[in-house]
Amino acid sequence: MNAYANALLYAIPAFVVLVLIEIAYGHFVKEQKYRFFDTLSSLSSGVTNVLKDSLGLALVLISYPFLVSQLALTQTPSGWPTWVIAFIAIDFAGYWNHRLSHHVNLFWNSHVIHHSSEEFNLACALRQSISNLIGYTAILLLPAALLGVPYQVIAVLAPLHLFGQFWYHTQHIGKLGWLEYILITPSQHRVHHAINKEYIDKNLGQIFSVWDRLFGTFQEELDEVPPRYGVLKPALTYNPLWINFQHFYNLAFDAWYAKSWIDKMRIWFMPTGWRPADVAARFERWIIEDVYAYQKYHPKETSSRKIIVFIQFLLAIGLLLYFFSQFSSLETEIQLLTGGLIFLMVMGYSSLMDGSKWALFFEGFRLLYLMALYSLVPTFFSDLALPFPLLIGVSSLSAIATKVSLSNE
């Protein structure tokens, strides 16, 4: 986890710079693809995701090192062939994991946040899940394990494979000729993020487009069908916590009210969107029917609220980067408690973006959290080298600003 935290110290600023470059380009060509609160929501989802991953908050059902140690039938040749085989195996596993995420109710919950933005830009690439708390994807790397690909090679290539998916989340790059037959391109991924009926659940590949063509999920971007982005049941919130668990809540709700025990069990593993007939008849759930008539989620955005939220966002990012710079020197308990503090900061200002009273709850809870740390874990502030008066003072000002902003509605 220390290596991951160190890598993020460089990756996070790099991603933010690339987002800013795309924003500047959109302004220059008068074709802006960003909205202020939507962008901050995307970046904040990235914050919560890297927090969860750096703190190791997931239960791994089966690991790749175990698979390769038990099932390897041969040993891949040393040198570059091993790296090529490993990369192809990772991409093949990524395709099927992505396909499961789109086609199975339970798995969709851990992927829906990535599609929840109603814009399509580099920032939405950072909308990653915190609800994927059970790790099972190593099972999909079975071909690599059978071929004896060392886990060290997988460990190096997996994050590079993930980072390689960042660049194609853009509307500013058109079709790329012959590359469309080899790689996943911005055009293909625009189709993937679109909610038009022609595009739903298409182009599930991650680096290579061959899997979509081979398994029947490829769809070209059509000039006569301009993509509309988001999800058919809009999140209607900027808060990453709500977005992450909305679908799970809906599944649990339907399972609770279903009369059939079979329906209560199978709803989790049915195709995405499936509901028991009796529950669907009792509790109607609105989805978008006309993607071109739908008005994007756009709560009140005053200049003062934008300033308040942006300052709170900068404070959260600053603390996150500082936290990662100190990560290896901190005890596990301090790491978890610091992660909790940053999480509360994100919950507060993202709720304020919605204009929700929940913002006051999270701000108040953060003050109580800091006071509890002062009383129960006094070493927290010295270990982190951040004085209690500074943190409680900043949090108090944040709570006051939030209260004033909500009172002005």
pLDDT, tens digit, 9 for 90 and up, residues 34-64: 999 999 999 999 999 999 999 998 888 889 9
Helix (H, G, I), strand (E, B) or coil at 226: coil
Residue 171 has pLDDT above 80, yes or no: yes
Share of the chain above pLDDT 90, in %: 90
* Residue from 344, 130, 356, 340 nearest 237 by CA: 356
* Residue from 110, 118, 132 nearest 37 by CA: 118
> Locate tokens 């890598």: which residue?
7
* Residue from 172, 219, 186 nearest 200 by CA: 219
Please say whether the beta carbons of 117 and 19 come within 8 A: no
The 10 Å CB-count burial string (b at 16+, else e) for 166-177 is: bebbbbeeeeee
**135 — pLDDT class (breaks 50, 70, 90):** confident
- Tell me what pLDDT residue 61 has: 85
- Around Cβ 197, how many Cβ atoms within 10 Å? 10
Residue 172 has pLDDT above 80, yes or no: yes
Which pair of tokens denotes residue 250? 């809906």
Rg of the chain over Cα atoms, rounded to whole angstroms, equals 22
Mean pLDDT score of the chain = 95
Kindly state the average pLDDT of the residues 290-308.
95
pTM, 2 dp: 0.94
Kindly state the average pLDDT of the residues 26-34.
96
pLDDT tens column, 226-239: 999 999 999 999 99
Q: Are strands 134-135 and 59-60 parallel, antiparallel or unpaired?
A: parallel
Kindly state the average pLDDT of the residues 140-159.
94
Residue 328 has pLDDT above 80, yes or no: yes
- Tell me what pLDDT residue 108 has: 97
Residue 98 has pLDDT above 90, yes or no: yes
- Tell me what pLDDT residue 225 has: 97
- Tell me what pLDDT residue 146 has: 95
- Around Cβ 238, how many Cβ atoms within 10 Å? 28
> Locate tokens 């003050």: which residue?
367
**What span, in angstroms and rounded, lies between the C-alpha atoms of 26 and 4?**
32
The larger pLDDT score, comparing residue 79 to residue 207, is at 207
Share of the chain above pLDDT 70, in %: 99
Kindly state the average pLDDT of the residues 259-269.
97
**76 — pLDDT class (breaks 50, 70, 90):** confident
- Tell me what pLDDT residue 9 has: 78
Residue 8 has pLDDT above 70, yes or no: yes
- Tell me what pLDDT residue 239 has: 97
Q: Domain-by-domain residue ranges, the chain? A: 2-215, 303-407
**What span, in angstroms and rounded, lies between the C-alpha atoms of 232 and 115?**
10
Please say whether the beta carbons of 271 and 205 come within 8 A: no
**What span, in angstroms and rounded, lies between the C-alpha atoms of 98 and 396?**
42
Q: Which amino acid is at 198?
A: E
The contacts of residue 5 (CB under 8 Å, 6+ apart) are 54, 324, 327, 328
- Tell me what pLDDT residue 2 has: 61
- Tell me what pLDDT residue 3 has: 67
* Residue from 8, 28, 32, 1 nearest 126 by CA: 8
pLDDT tens column, 177-206: 999 999 999 999 999 999 999 999 999 999
